[in-house]
Amino acid sequence: MKFFIDTGNLAQIKEANELGILDGVTTNPTLMAQVGVKGEAAIAEHYKAICEIVNGDISAEVLSTDFATMVEEGKKLAAIHPNIVVKVPMIKDGIKAIKWFTDNGIRTNCTLVFSAGQAILAAKAGATYVSPFIGRIDDSSWDGMELISQIRHIYDVQGFQTQILAASIRNALHIVKAAEAGADVCTCPLDSILGLLKHPLTDIGLAKFLEDAKKM
Ligand code: E4P
């Protein structure tokens, strides 16, 4: 399973990248606004900066909702760097745009996916990635991980090549469960990635080893 970090924060992206296990970055308008990126030029500069830190796929989201504007926006985003993946919302024009990008060699991430039916449409349009939002499904008392398993099953049975990108990850357990369910990618906040490190017996064991090392 590939690991992406889900943030627009350059310091966090650097910190995750330094672990040596980072395969890419996802952003969205909320995450970009959180780090104060505003205006077309600043947005492009920010994506460029992310691409310079991480050698992997970087999702950059279109801000429009009609086919023609999404295509124009996506072309500009894709021109920023070869690693840019154009993130497109799961709406009717979004599916048309994903098909257009697919036919024109531009890779896509279909975002805001909450059902297996939507995931089938994304795959049919040729999306590189499909992003089911696990945490938001859990927040509404459905089982987000069930959706990952269902999409995995459908894609395997049908031979769809679209990669399942588990998104809206809230904690380290989500990462483990997404791996178990067969997600191709997990995009996570830095805290959830670092949460994977935690085990009290590791800390206790290391403290003892370091103490005993003094007697060596
Ligand atoms: C991923 O591509 C999405 O931008 C992100 O995971 C959404 O997460 P949230 O539900 O925590 O906002």
Alpha carbon nearest to ligand 1 atom 12, residue: 168
- Enumerate residues 6+ apart whose C-beta is below 8 A from 115: 147
Which of 168, 175, 187 maximizes ligand 1 atoms within 8 Å of its Cβ, making it the mutation to test the pocket?
A: 168
pTM of the predicted model over 0.85: yes
- Residue 91 has what DSSP assignment? S
Give the separation between CA 175 and CA 167, rounded to whole angstroms: 10
What is the average per-residue pLDDT within 147-159?
98
Alpha carbon nearest to ligand 1 atom 11, residue: 168
Summary mean pLDDT of the chain: 97
**pLDDT for the residue numbered 122:** 98
Exposure string over 80-101, b if 16+ CB within 10 A, otherwise e: beebbbbbbbbbebbbbbbbbb
CA of 168 to the centre of ligand 1 (A): 4
**pLDDT for the residue numbered 98:** 98
What is the average per-residue pLDDT within 33-62?
97
Q: Which atom of ligand 1 is nearest to the CA of 87?
A: 2
- Enumerate residues 6+ apart whose C-beta is below 8 A from 29: 61, 63
Q: What is the CA radius of gyration of the chain?
A: 19
**pLDDT for the residue numbered 95:** 98
What is the average per-residue pLDDT within 20-39?
96
Give the separation between CA 46 and CA 59, rounded to whole angstroms: 12
- Whether 87 is a known active-site residue: answer yes
Confidence of residue 197 (pLDDT cuts 50, 70, 90): very high
Alpha carbon nearest to ligand 1 atom 8, residue: 168
Q: Could you give the 3-state DSSP secondary structure of residue 58? A: strand
